[in-house]
Amino acid sequence: MNRTSRLTPYLYVAPLVLLMAFVFGYPLVRIFEFSFKMVRGIDGPWIGLRNYQLVLGQDLFWESVLHNLQLLLAIPVMVVVSLFVAILLYERVAGWKLYRIIVFVPFVLAIPIIAVVMKRMFQFSGPVNEVLRWLSLDFMALDWIGSSEVALWTVMILIIWRESALGIILFLARMMSLDESVIEAAKLEGANWWQRARYIILPQMRGVIEFFVVVSTITMLSAVFAYVYVIGGGRGGPGTATVVVEFYIFNALIRTSLPGIASAASVMLFLVSVLLIFPLFRARRRAALDEATR
């Protein structure tokens, strides 16, 4: 009854397989190979585990891992901020649609653009500090991008500012699919704003929050290059204060011509991201299930 020959499906998926083999397959095989070689230019001799030994023995590598982990601290803040704003929007006060458009602007602006703007705003003698001094908050007028102690926190502010917009939209969309009659009923019974949010809305948000947390974790561990590149002056500065693992790999490959070292670090990053795939799939499934019950 099916007139399609047995080969047809394979013809349809062949371009996909070829493209994936080239962009993902080939590189994933080669990083393992390179990570055991001392590569100069395009190839080099086998040196066993030497690259791993060098990478794991280097302070800079651990420092960059630590920076990625520190960025994870932004996630709870993002969740709280996003939930708060999303619930406010959900109340549909007058003009909420306009508010919604506005609070989503941060996510529309490209990271490099916004990083450049923020970098100027946070200069030591820039507008942010001017405002703080004007408010007599001189002690808060830090050297935001110039100090090694502060710079990564500045990056984090920027990340929270932008990624929270995504959280708001995700959470809001989920809330819109909730059963409104329950909330209305609670209102009639005199439940205040906090009670409604805490006992009716929040419990139904578990799936989407979990999803947002997992996605953000992946972002913090492996997708903050663009933030760091601009704020850290293209070198993870000041000093090495904003070097993250992605940047470590970038530097090893491009600036110090050590593809073997870069590969060893890539392999480790890859293995970590493989571990994250499972929670991602689970969270996605659960969030999808929540959606399906709308």
The nearer residue to other proteins, 93 or 181, going by C-beta atoms, is 93
Q: Which of 75, 175, 183, 261 is close enough to bind other proteins by CB under 8 A?
A: 261
Of the candidate spans 33-41, 69-77, 176-184, 199-207, the one that interacts with other proteins by CB under 8 A turns out to be 33-41
Q: Which of 66, 204, 210, 284 is close enough to bind other proteins by CB under 8 A?
A: 284
Q: Should residue 170 be labelled a site residue for other proteins when binding is judged by CB under 8 A?
A: yes
Whole-number Å distance between alpha carbons of 105 and 92 = 19
CB distance 265 to 248 below 8 Å: yes
Q: Should residue 10 be labelled a site residue for other proteins when binding is judged by CB under 8 A?
A: yes
Q: One-letter amino acid identity for 11?
A: L
Residues with Cβ within 8 Å of 274's Cβ and at least 6 positions away in sequence, in order, are none
**Hey, what are 290's tokens?**
């929540």
What is the SS3 assignment for 57?
coil
**Hey, what are 47's tokens?**
């040196």
Considering only CA atoms, which of 232, 209, 227, 230 is closest in space to residue 147? 232
- Give the H/E segment covering residue 133: helix 127-134
Q: Which of 75, 220, 266, 290 is close enough to bind other proteins by CB under 8 A?
A: 266
Q: Should residue 226 be labelled a site residue for other proteins when binding is judged by CB under 8 A?
A: yes
Q: Which of 56, 69, 73, 109 is close enough to bind other proteins by CB under 8 A?
A: 109
- Which of positions 236-255 make contact with other proteins (CB under 8 A)? 237-240, 246, 249-251, 253-255
CA angle 109, 113, 114 (to 5 degrees): 70
Q: Should residue 293 be labelled a site residue for other proteins when binding is judged by CB under 8 A?
A: no
The nearer residue to other proteins, 100 or 204, going by C-beta atoms, is 100
CB distance 93 to 270 below 8 Å: no
- Which of positions 34-73 make contact with other proteins (CB under 8 A)? 34, 38-42, 54, 58-60
Closest CB 75 distance from other proteins, rounded Å? 14
Whole-number Å distance between alpha carbons of 145 and 152 = 8
Q: Should residue 157 be labelled a site residue for other proteins when binding is judged by CB under 8 A?
A: no
Q: Should residue 127 be labelled a site residue for other proteins when binding is judged by CB under 8 A?
A: yes
Q: Should residue 117 be labelled a site residue for other proteins when binding is judged by CB under 8 A?
A: yes
Q: Should residue 213 be labelled a site residue for other proteins when binding is judged by CB under 8 A?
A: no
